[in-house]
Chains A and B, each alone.
Chain A
Amino acid sequence: MPEVRVVNVTKKYGKLYALNNVSLTIHDQEYFSLLGPSGCGKTTLLRLIAGLIEHDSGEIHIGDRRVDKDPPEDREIGFVFQTFALFPHMNTWDNVLYGPKVKNYDSKQAETIGHEVLELVKLSERLNAYPSELSGGMMQRIAVARALAAGGKILLLDEPLGQLDAKVRNDIRYEIRRMAKDLKLTAIHVTHDQQEAMSISDRIAVMKKGKIVQIGSPKELYMHPNSLFVAFFIGESNLLEGYVTKLEGKNAEVELREGYKIQAYNERDIKVGDRVVLAIRPETCEMKLGLIGEGLDGLFGQIEKTTFEGTIVRYEIRLVNGDRFVINRPSLTEEWVKLGQEVTITYPKEKAHLFPYPANGLSDEISV
């Protein structure tokens, strides 16, 4: 039922395109994330869907209703604000009951709803406390409860976890997803944290500078990024510049700087002689000590820096042609490799994605 459809929506602030001809369909009962770097227009899109700001052109549909001329109060939504926006002059209970009361439910009904949502967010104490007396985690739960109590079938969340510390954040994000699923809501979740988006979403739209770059399930985005930007932004990628020197079916041979040749996989329309960028994820790589085999089979280099990051160790490697390369290895199950050690890096060649060299340069493409 409440499918959300955004059709060719544009929003400008002066000359700046906060949203540039964006189209997108979010399915009924889907948990959907808008992901992108700061300033890419996520909040703008979410607020347009909520009716909190007006768009310049395009259409927004909720279910079979076109809503972009409707005020927010008529859109049957719930909205969780980044700053929570709990009413400072009302206690927890009154905050939660605000929606039902404004919608003129009788007080019995309103109270039943209040108890239900508070149970959902596992909050039953301190209902008389005012927002200024509560911890961030509690405020967050109340903000969600309040949005749910209003009874909309669409839950919009703008960086709902942004103000919480890492531990609480990890716990709460799954709970929000669970609640949305239990209540059969359609949820749109804005975040700039790709891990958060990956771990809770059915699908994700990756945005950049007012446009949607790719929409897909977390796995699709990770395995088959459609652009350098997505490859770089979702997870982590080593980017190597070079030219295609040979093509056999999907197998490609790429010449990096200093004439250094390696293998890659061509899923796109790339021809011999094209300038390309090769994207290889650090976690797909194996590392062996010493320089093993000849060219093509692997990348040769020397460990330049080691960083212990808890569960993983991160190695920065200077390749023989001068390029830099990063790989991550488990920190507990493997012996750490020493600085200055010469190593050979191997990777499944179908995991080395080839992209045409971006027209505006590499740094512009991956800049946020």
Chain B
Amino acid sequence: MLSTKVMDTLNSLSSKKHLKYTIYLAAIIVFFAIILIPPIIGILIKAPEIGNFLNYPELVNTASIAIVNSFVIGLIVAALDLFAGIPLAWMITRSKSRWMSILDTLADLPFIVPTAALGYSLLLFWSSDSGISGLFGSSIVSPGYILVMFLHFTFSFPVVVRVLVGSMLDYKMEYERASRTMGAPPLTAARTVTFPILKPSLIAAYSLAFARSLSETGATFIVAGLLFQNGPVFIQNLKNDLTAGAITTATYEGGTVFTSIILIAISLVIFGVIRVVGNRMRLPLGFFGKKLPVFEKKLSYKKGVLTRNTLALIVFFGIILLPSVFVALPAFQAITQGTNLVDALTGAGIWASFWNSLLLSYVLGVIVTLLGILAGIPMAILIARKTFGNLPSVILDSLMNVPIIVPSIALGVSLRFFWQGTGVPDFALLVLAHLAITYPYFVRSMSAAIERIPIELEDASKTLGAKPFTVFKSIVLPLTKYSILSGAIIVFTRSVSETGATLAVTSTLETAPVLIVNWVNSIRGVGTAIAGVNQSTVGLACGLLILFSFIVLFALRLLTKKKGKA
């Protein structure tokens, strides 16, 4: 049989030490040569242009304010996410109600809605007549600072809930039970035992939310209004100014590099601080005097729990979920009006570009996902199993953070600078950019999964005579299938909704979220006006995009469910 032959070949190959190391080395080289080094060098090449930019104190001033905005919003939003996410994750993991698995799936929703569509949805919900503002006769939240906060809260919330639910499910309840039997009311037990043990996940959740907020571009651009700028929006505006001929290329490049470098430098510092302070931080057991347990005790039972759950649900449905899917309303109106739907489905007029963009996004997503898995698995094993020793594994693991914390627009800008003039086609650039942004997420979730497999299992399999490849296929793969697939989902959805790096890398290729940003801008009178684009076309486009994302996510979910049980 062919497959046995292939297995035999792979097995005998896998026994050869040098081949194994070749694969690992290849993975390391790919990581450095394609993901880590190009953006760093790209930005350094253009560093001299900063001088040019500094000649415009007004621009520098705007840039500084934008950068401060980025960090203030990121830090606050991540904290709010934790605050709102903990009760929800708690409810999802602890309640025995059957509704919880539905709630769990719903919590993923804003995650798969491409952020550009999400941004438009929020814009409609919070500040247009058709949303709740219509009820009050004026904009409840006008585009700008607060709306950006709402937006970032919405799209980073699912990340936090996902991380927290995962870690709470892994958590050994025995600790909390022990605490209860010694007299601690539920809240006290949670505060003194559960959360300290879950602390690494809380820190991870906070960091991820912060990173997401820092690097999001497309949707922020949509809800920013005309005055507000954060780092990514500032860079995007510079680009528009360049296109409009308002500034020179040198100023544009200088400004972009300036903003990117500062964003990167400060975020590196902040991540370092989060790590160090987070690890040192200890909640006192001493209960701040003696008052707290009484108050904690009161909040621990029926009324307290009910209030907490109700608030968590109100926040989730009212601030996260409803605004996220609100765009379905204009989409629905577009459908009932008929003409738009027919146009859309037949690809008439502007819709031709919509379908092209959608196709481009999905093709790109699939390629990036496959490449990510291929390059990511050896790296994950390397990190988890410390193949080359403890130190290299720790170093690789921390380097993995770099692409996560670098704002994606900055990453795209530097990639562009690096590959400029090398003749690499734009599509390949897009693949590289998306790979750089998504790869660390995949490696992270994968190496965590591999670490959870006791090494004894692999050893046991080896003592039973299994060759390395068989061990991988019969032990590692089945046990991590779920993580591979959920990692793939993250990569895919991130790629499909990525805007910042895409905008920075190419001006010829229009992915679906970029198209939506352009359409929305056309309505708002920013950038180029596009004939035939109006509220209902954008609504319908967002609706279709969400629908397709849904179908893909649903299919993948089914797949993970089945495979997870196998």
Contact = CB atoms under 8 A, between A and B. Distances in A.
A83 B175 CA distance: 10
A98 B285 contact: yes
Interface in B263-297: 285-287, 290, 293
A364 to B, nearest CB: 32
A75 B185 CA distance: 12
Interface in A132-158: 146-147, 149-150, 152, 156
B172 A99 contact: no
A102 B183 contact: yes
Contact of A73 (B175, B184, B285, B287): B184
Most central of B174, B189, B293 by chain A CB within 10 Å: B174
Contacts of B285: 90, 94, 98, 101
A81 interface: yes
Nearest to A149: B182
Contacts of B189: 73
B353 interface: no
Nearest to B285: A101
A79 B290 contact: no
A104 B196 contact: no
A85 interface: yes
B279 to A, nearest CB: 11
Contact of A78 (B174, B182, B192): B182
A363 to B, nearest CB: 33
Given A71-B186, A94-B285, A102-B192, A88 B181 contact: no
Contact of B172 (A51, A85, A147): A85
Contacts of A146: 178, 182
B181 A101 contact: no
Nearest to A53: B177
Nearest to B199: A89
Contacts of A103: 182-183
Interface residues of A, number: 30
Contact of A87 (B193, B290, B293): B193
A72 interface: yes
B181 A102 contact: no
B180 A72 contact: yes
Contact of A52 (B180, B183, B185): B180
Given A94-B285, A98-B285, A101-B285, A73 B181 contact: yes
B186 A52 contact: no
A244 interface: no
A50 interface: yes
B185 A71 contact: yes
Contact of B290 (A52, A72, A83, A104): A104
A271 B424 CA distance: 98
Contacts of B177: 52, 72, 79, 81, 85
Contacts of B229: none
Given A87-B193, A88-B197, A98-B285, A52 B181 contact: yes
Given A94-B285, A101-B285, A104-B293, A87 B197 contact: yes
Interface in A147-206: 147, 149-150, 152, 156
A51 B183 CA distance: 12
A70 to B, nearest CB: 11
A73 B180 contact: yes
B183 A99 contact: yes
B293 A102 contact: yes
Interface in B17-56: none
A146 B188 CA distance: 17
B179 interface: yes
A93 to B, nearest CB: 12
A98 B182 contact: yes
Contacts of B172: 83, 85
A317 interface: no
Contact of A99 (B182, B186, B193): B182
A19 interface: no
A77 interface: yes
Contact of A150 (B182, B197, B290, B301): B182
Nearest to B283: A89
Interface in A84-115: 85, 87-90, 94, 98-99, 101-104
A81 B197 contact: no
B182 A85 contact: no
Contacts of B193: 87
A116 to B, nearest CB: 16
A52 B179 CA distance: 11
A60 B188 CA distance: 25
A52 B172 CA distance: 14
B40 to A, nearest CB: 37
Contacts of A89: 196-197, 199
Contact of B175 (A51, A72, A87): A87
B21 to A, nearest CB: 33
A149 B182 CA distance: 9
B179 to A, nearest CB: 7
A362 B181 CA distance: 41
B188 A79 contact: no
A73 B178 contact: no
Contact of A102 (B174, B182, B199, B301): B182
A102 B286 contact: no
A209 to B, nearest CB: 25
A151 B287 CA distance: 20
A113 to B, nearest CB: 12
A79 B293 contact: no
A55 B197 CA distance: 29
Most central of A78, A79, A89 by chain B CB within 10 Å: A89
A256 B186 CA distance: 61
Contacts of A51: 180
A150 B183 contact: yes
Contacts of A156: 181
Nearest to A77: B181
Interface string B154-182: 00000000000000000010110111111
A72 B197 contact: no
A158 to B, nearest CB: 10
A81 B286 contact: no
Contacts of A72: 177, 180-181
A87 B286 CA distance: 16
B24 to A, nearest CB: 30
Given A98-B285, A104-B287, 13 more contacts: A52-B177, A71-B180, A71-B185, A73-B185, A78-B182, A89-B196, A90-B285, A99-B183, A102-B183, A102-B184, A103-B183, A150-B182, A150-B183
14 contacts: A71-B186, A71-B301, A72-B180, A73-B183, A73-B184, A77-B181, A83-B174, A88-B175, A88-B197, A98-B192, A99-B182, A102-B182, A102-B188, A156-B181
Please give me the 9 A-B residue pairs with the lowest Cβ-Cβ distance, nearest first: A99-B182, A79-B181, A150-B182, A85-B174, A85-B178, A72-B180, A102-B184, A89-B196, A103-B183
Interface of B: 172, 174-175, 177-186, 188-189, 192-193, 196-197, 199, 285-287, 290, 293, 301
